[in-house]
Structure 1
């Protein structure tokens, strides 16, 4: 498309694009914005190699004159965005980019995909946190669609309040996080099956991991025998001054088995040993198990969380809102049925009650005077980062405040009434005026 714009003399036109979600997935009441740091970091370091450029020339997508621009490519625009970890709703711009039209269009697919994948994960993960009643929610990278996808999901889980697997050291290093004091190590079914007996396997494992580090499965063979073997080893270790961190149950009726295991552990004086439940668990199962009295301290969520099967897609769109040629500024919009976009540079205003609970969002024009919190902040100006990109710990704290500020009707798993998102009178008026001029 850039080639056509270039030949039409539009390559130096300044444009403004909005990045937003068109529709709320059926199984969501709100969304959590993540992926901003990834996008900004890549945007400000974007380069085209000689090989990239040569391939574009060979494909006849650019000519030699255009190739020269790519050789010295540097993003020259402005970026406003919601803070990472923000709660948002369909129709609200989460990012607003202004800059050379050709640059913004070249980056379109990358930006849409990066925000889509991250936000799908965070909006899924937060549902388990909401119903877990403060119990830990742990995620490994197992069964992800690749390691990059797995790391993005663990990052999203951390932001919304969960616990990425402490044994995934590459994740903690990649995102600059301080490792937990204790790295938990899980005794797997494979480890148990490699020994002549389950008891021997448990003893061998806790010989290596004896200091509150071991997470031990008890259902490889017979569950009750597994619990008895676990208790035998835990008591032996306790006499030596050691401790097993957790009992791990991942099959059968998890409610009944957790109650049985807790009773047996307490009966044998092992009150401080925690119980972790797993087995294709997702948020609805967590809620149901806790209502049924499951006796556990946490949940290991894997496939159902990392693949987000109940809402695996997000309708992320990137819409041109304004064109500027010299001093001439022209708002633009899309009129397609069911896909209407709104013109001009916009801001999102959030209104809260006296307790800080969200009441209403208003999408208005950039310079309107509307009471409320301004959600879009400037992060990049003229191609330079001018705002603070906080570490994950700060994003996590900010996200918790956002979740705490949700009205109660949005925190439930079933579909609730829609949160009110309205358009300002001035934006509605401009939209009507612009629509009359479109042809």
Structure 2
């Protein structure tokens, strides 16, 4: 893992220097990371990047050349630079488990640490979690649209740089993709890699048939042929069938064809008819060409005979929603040995944070389906033994009472007293966890368009605290 200690905004360091100058650097504070909108106006967000966050915290260390660089800026005191030289993270970090679906305004990472430490990690924490969660969510939406068909991540060449390509592929697999074309991501994260050939392969040979035959000769057990270099129905599919006949005679089973341009609904139907007539009705028909969840859903509704999807640019860049927009806000500060709630006021109600040291509880009905989440203060006891009434935090006459239910606390420890207590999981284990979790979310929240809003309420104690703080707030003079 690279040392990302200097991957931060300058103002984090200037604030840290200021806290030291004011003698506040050891004051313990609480920060929450949360987001305000689900990507693509969807119904949920998949949290991703927790493993990289853990690696980042474990590797926090200012090297000698880092100190020299910061000194050269001429804005930091020698005392501050000496503190950076001896820096280590000593606080507590809790997060939801990677692959968990979450909703706006819920804490997904909670940091309790001296402000000197908690301030430093803001930028990188947001950078890691925002991007991977965005791509995991986009992948989940694409996979939902595919309705169980395999979805392959093809976006490396269009990603916003190498890191986006690598960690975007990781996130896409966690979100539901069955594999990636990114070989380095495959090696780094032990995830399946996929790929066949490009149009250039076909163009290099004297004929399309020769290109297909040569590819099948090299890879007889993985013969998936790209049929749209010249004419999908006039030459591509007939030449693919000719080669399939040849390798079938040798005992191999052809995989199928890929179409990368044109009217995918029409071409796939015609290609399927031709393949079926030749005895290859069960081979794969893979489609690519700037696909996203909306186009896949449209093709499904048109009855396209496509059963595998290669999705690149619009997945790896989340082209219609380029940022998750997660934020990191101070919610409590220790005074005289006690955590005192803090709140940020804004003329935009959406930007008023929930104060205090909080947790997130998920309520499951007797059918093991997620029914609602409750953001509560950490010392509250809600265990399913007593009836629970929740209410909308704004329209609080909207209420619902649960009697036969169970509660799951979502925030789990990553670091306690600076020591890592997190058990690492493989990407494929996280992918399975994400898949299992999504099975507990009702279909109306997973709709590609116009999803129903999932219930996220404040506990009565937190709601009263927030209301009191808002009513008591005075504008500083």
Q: In the alignment, what sits opposite 2:437?
A: 402
2:311 aligned with 1:297, yes or no? no
Equivalence for 1:142: 157
The alignment status of 1:380 with 2:415, answered yes or no, reads: yes
Kept in 1, the 8 Å contact 2:166–2:182? The answer is no
In 2, the alpha carbon distance for the partners of 1:78 and 1:269 equals 61
Structure 1 residue runs of 4+, over 3 Å off? 432-435
Q: What is the DSSP-based 3-state SS (H/G/I as helix, E as strand, rest coil) of the residue aligned with 1:12?
A: coil
Q: Cα distance, 1:328 vs. partner? A: 4.1
In structure 1, the partner of 2:402 is none
Q: Following superposition of structure 1 onto structure 2, how do residues 337-352 of structure 1 map, counting pairs within 5 Å?
A: 337-338=347-348, 339-352=351-364
* Alignment TM-score, normalising by the size of structure 1: 0.95
Matches within 5 A, 1:199-238: 199-211=209-221, 213-224=222-233, 225-238=235-248
In the alignment, the residues of structure 2 paired with residue 394 and residue 194 of structure 1 have an alpha-carbon distance, to the nearest angstrom, of 41
Distance 2:439 2:209 in 1: 45
Query: 1:246 offset after TM fit, Å?
Result: 2.2
Q: SS of 2:304's equivalent?
A: coil
Aligned-partner Cα distance in 2 for 1:60–1:9: 21
1:46 correspondence with 2:60: yes
Report the counterpart of residue 8 of structure 2 in structure 1.
Answer: none
Structure 1: runs of 5 or more not aligned: none
CA distance in 2: counterparts of 1:279 and 1:148, whole angstroms? 23
- 1:393 deviates by 2.2
Q: Flag structure 2 segments of 5+ consecutive residues without an equivalent.
A: 1-14, 384-406
Aligned positions, number: 433
Superposed displacement of residue 355, structure 1? 1.2
Deviation at 1:55, TM superposition (A): 1.6
**Alignment pair present for 1:18 and 2:53:** no
Which region of structure 1 is more displaced relative to structure 2, 55-64 or 331-340? 55-64
CA contact 1:86–1:399 (8 Å) conserved in 2: yes
1:369 aligns with 2:381: yes
TM alignment of 1:30-429, pairs within 5 A: 30-140=44-154, 141-165=156-180, 168-177=182-191, 179=192, 184-211=194-221, 213-224=222-233, 225-325=235-335, 327-338=337-348, 339-371=351-383, 372-429=407-464
TM-superposed deviation, 1:118: 0.6
- In structure 1, what is the Cα distance between the partners aligned to 2:173 and 2:367? 26
Q: CA deviation at 1:264?
A: 1.1
Q: 1:69 to 1:311 in 2, by over 3 A?
A: same
SS at match of 1:348: strand
Task: Give the Å deviation of 1:99.
Answer: 0.7
CA contact 1:249–1:278 (8 Å) conserved in 2: yes
> Shift of residue 77 of structure 1?
0.8
Following TM superposition, by how much is the alpha carbon of 1:25 offset from its aligned partner in structure 2, in angstroms? Answer: 4.0
RMSD: 1.6
CA offset at residue 374 of structure 1? 0.7
How many Å apart are 1:147 and its aligned residue?
2.1
Q: Secondary structure at the match of 2:330?
A: strand
| Alignment partners' CA distance in 1, 2:296 and 2:442 | 21
Under a length normalisation based on structure 2, what TM-score does the superposition of the two structures give? 0.87
2:200 counterpart SS class: helix
Pairwise CA distance, 1:361: 0.9
- What displacement does 1:413 show? 0.8
